[in-house]
Structure 1
Amino acid sequence: MHRLKQINMVLIGTTHPGNIGASARALKVMGLSRLSLVNPETHPSPEARARASGADDVLSEAVMSDTLDKAIHDAQWVFGTSSRSRGMDIPMLNMRQAAKKMIEAAANGDQVAMLFGKERYGLTNEEMQRCHFLVKYPANPDYPSLNLAAAVQLAAYELRMQAKMTNDDGDSANYESHDNNRCNHEKMSGFYQHLFETMSDLDFLNSANYASMTEKFRMMFNRMGVEKHEMDMLRGFLSAINKKLKK
């Protein structure tokens, strides 16, 4: 299915290599093929190959990155799995709702990333700040712990079902291409660096408020969904401020 090719499943700091192989198998079974690995503890490994069980192509083509920002540089939309928001102002969806939004974004020509944190504690606060939406599985509240590969399998299933409901039959001749105007993660990261440096030069940011203020600004712009021409205006405005400061 064509839209599924635009969805990148990102495993961060995976500790058990078997989970990587089982995740590759889960993706291939449901027609997904993009897998990214951010600083896995062990990769490649015989255990991962064994657990992939025929999904060697997905496993061997997995993209390795040393930072999360590199892994999701091309994504216009980032979803992160988490059982709670930890007080961050990030919309929370269930997996079915998230799958609908992901497939809709892919239909508009956008690239999508879905993040899975370390097995023991999930996404860190810093990793969550990269997300436009958080995804919560409706697990048993008395025992909500879900194996990483199982979480990937459930996500892949919901994505496939949503793609089928939107009549994505995989025929590229019937696939309607759209202009891609939303800024991707790489452009947003460059903007945040420029913004926070300028705010620090103005003494608006300092060591006491840096963490809380930068988080709030990231959340605000993530909700806005900045387009490319809007980014040009924002960066131009910051550059004008920088020139005034130098004078």
Structure 2
Amino acid sequence: MTTVDQSAVNPLDNIRIVLVNTSHPGNIGAVARAMKNMCLSQLYLVEPRKYPHDEATWRAASADDVLNSAVVCETLDEAIADCQLVIGTSARERTVPWPLLDPRHCMERGYAEAAAGHKIALVFGREDRGLTNEELQRCNLHVHIPANPEYSSLNIAMAVQVLAYEVRMQHLSGELNNNDMADWDVPVAGAQDLERYLVHLEETLRDINFLRPEAPKKLMTRLRRLYQRTRLDEMEVNILRGILTSTQYWVRKAKADESSEAGGTAAPNSGVDGAE
């Protein structure tokens, strides 16, 4: 197996800009231009409404290399599958709050992890309504640009420019003092592995009758927040999934044994109905 010398990798190459369901092709071109201004080159497009398109090329000006190398994905999960840190842009408060940073502190952390070899995704939503709650729950962190509260609407290219500028300033300063996982013994789990674990967790909670229809609606949202901010590594995910698999085996075996011995009598509920 060939190993990559991370010291020889430009940290900026580990940072990708992800645009979700962009409706105006000109905005895609403008984002490519903003990225190239700040030496970023990894552009991912999730279900763009119109791409490729002449207006995207025109708005990109001399950043057509960034535009032409863009990776088009069908889903956000596909775009972030191999990323260890996913940062979603959010313009409003949520019922269940998520770790929220301003652009400068967010990019301090993001760049430090990129320098350590982690793949970082900066995710931007639709022009008219941003990212959905479900999409934001795929993110480890949320970033908010503190614009004028009386006129806070930013064009998507302007928002990308703000974060790309902060990335650029971190690159020029070389200050890598915010990465607490730089010397970790096992790689941080990617978004795809974490999502598979969360799906497995929900399935297991239903198997043990903990997660029932009458349970708090945001229970899984809160569990997602817990695991997204914990930053599990690959071995930890494997251990947790092993625990879930073993739990499922014994629960299903017990239910089968009970059903055969008691003529199908159901086991008592063991979950909680606690208020949200």
TM-score, with structure 1 as normaliser: 0.92
Is 2:201 the partner of 1:184? no
Is 2:71 the partner of 1:63? yes
Instruction: Letter of the 1:55 partner, please give it.
Output: A
- Secondary structure at the aligned position of 2:193 is classed as helix
Instruction: Letter of the 1:206 partner, please give it.
Output: R
2:211 match: 205
- Secondary structure at the aligned position of 2:218 is classed as helix
1:50 match: 58
1:94 match: 102
1:120 match: 128
Q: Deviations over 1:13-70 (max 9, x none)?
A: 1011100011011111110000101111111100001001011111111111111111
**Percent identity (aligned):** 43
Segments ≥4 residues shifted beyond 3 Å: 176-180, 207-211
Partners of 2:175 and 2:94 lie apart in 1 by 37
Match of 2:20 among 7, 12, 15: 12
Whether contact under 8 Å (1:85, 1:92) holds in the other structure is: no
Matches within 5 A, 1:221-236: 221-236=227-242
Whether contact under 8 Å (1:109, 1:177) holds in the other structure is: no
Partners of 2:215 and 2:49 lie apart in 1 by 34
Larger Cα Rg: Structure 1 or Structure 2? 2
1:24 match: 32
Q: Deviations over 1:61-109 (max 9, x none)?
A: 1111111111000111111111223122311111111110111111221
Partners of 2:58 and 2:16 lie apart in 1 by 22
Please tell me the root mean square deviation across aligned C-alpha atoms, in Å. 1.9
Q: 1:178 deviation in Å?
A: 7.7
1:163 match: 171
- Secondary structure at the aligned position of 1:140 is classed as coil
Tell which has more relative contact order, 1 or 2 (C-alpha 8 A, sep 6+).
1
- Mean Cα deviation higher: 236-245 or 81-90: 81-90
Whether contact under 8 Å (1:14, 1:117) holds in the other structure is: yes
TM-score, with structure 2 as normaliser: 0.83
In structure 2, stretches of 5+ residues that fail to align are 1-8, 177-181, 254-276
For these two proteins, the number of residue pairs brought into alignment is 240
